[in-house]
Structure 1
Amino acid sequence: MTAGVRIRELHEMREFADLYRLFDGIWHPEPGNPPVTLELMKVFSHAGGYVAGAYAGEELVGGSVGILAKDRTLHSHVTGAVIGKGVGPALKAHQREWALARGLTRITWTFDPLVRRNARFNLVKLGARPEEYLCSFYGVMADAINAGDESDRLLAVWRLTEAAGPYSLEGAVTGLAERDGLPVTQRAEGPVVLVATPGDIETLRRADPGAGRAWRMATREVLGGLMANGAQVTGFTDRGEYVLKVSES
């Protein structure tokens, strides 16, 4: 309601077709490569999964598709919305209510670790925490947003019945810094490691694909490497850095 939209579950093929067109307008995928097909929306909805649309009046301005997963979890496969209208947060709030009403305790989804605004929303606003770094998770993606880049993702876990604790910067060292728009890796030897993100990776990828790839590989090496060795992401700073608590073992 705070976003001026109403959100409801979708069940009819005409509603799925509207959502398909909305997603197409956001990602502009190549033919045969949509984020989700009409048939899968129908299957997910019929099988008890989550397919919802956000409406401003009669206009569909956002939507989300998710599946039931193990460990009392809703996995949010794809969520898209008109930018700048607060629809994304409203959809997440609806997902949370939907999941809790069905006895679920977690919502998971993947996101690009280089997209700073998404990381801030997921970690700071919602209190989700990345629990796995997934290299090239979707393989080659042929759409206007991701084309030409590796599809590395973080698996965000939003624990609905637990509050995310505060993070500490005591003893923090920088493992990945930003200098003149480029990533700079540094020795990451400390109890807390900071991993920087680019200011706007989507614009950077278009303007300088080489710089975008440099960020991808550096983030995979530092953030992915730390998480693979047991480090936990505990927060995200105002400067756009992941905060990782390093395992003592």
Structure 2
Amino acid sequence: MRYLALATDYDGTLAHHGEVDSQTVEALRRLAGSRRKLILVTGRQVDDLIRVFPELPIFDRVVAENGAVVYRPRERELRLLAERPADAFILALKDRGVDPLFVGHVVVATVEPNEKLALDVIRELGLELEIIFNKGSVMILPPSVNKATGLKAALEELSISADRVVSVGDAENDHALLAMSGCGVAVANALESLKAEANHVTKARASEGVRELIESLIEDDLRSADSKRHSSGSA
């Protein structure tokens, strides 16, 4: 077996309007039954995922907060991979009227165009923080924390190398995720910039595209997708 794990984004990929349909859950169960590991890689916070996705324990690992947290859903164990920005930063954002403002274990999140206020505060306080975008959402994290670094930590726990992983996503913050994987896949509704970098683009959108990918993994370990890509590339 060439690919030992699937790493999937949540919103816009696995989920539609924040929910995962029963067909997709069943497809994930079939993939798990093929002795492959399932890893969810998302910008969402763990508590939020538990609330909106009761089937979360189907995953072997959850990389949350855009790579800052690794969660074991069956054991309910959480590991932080970075420190949250200083309280002074969060208070300064509130003083500037940044709303909404979400504070996780590590991530501080808001929406566009609040990144301008956040950048002003970062400069004024002399902080080393990065701003990451996700289709209108804005995440503020310590430097060098992203979905790829979080996935790397999860894979180390599972003793799987990155080249044995298929990853799938749709947005700006999925570039690093796809780049580090053995096969990076963009769903049909993904940003054009992500599609351009992906090894494969699904025919279907969002969760239907994930199901398409899962069926190809189970059927022939993505070999048919490889042959189609090579044929189109030589045309």
* TM-score, scaled relative to structure 1: 0.30
More helix by share: 2
Q: Which has the higher contact order (CA 8 A, sep 6+)?
A: 2
TM-score, length-scaled by structure 2 = 0.32
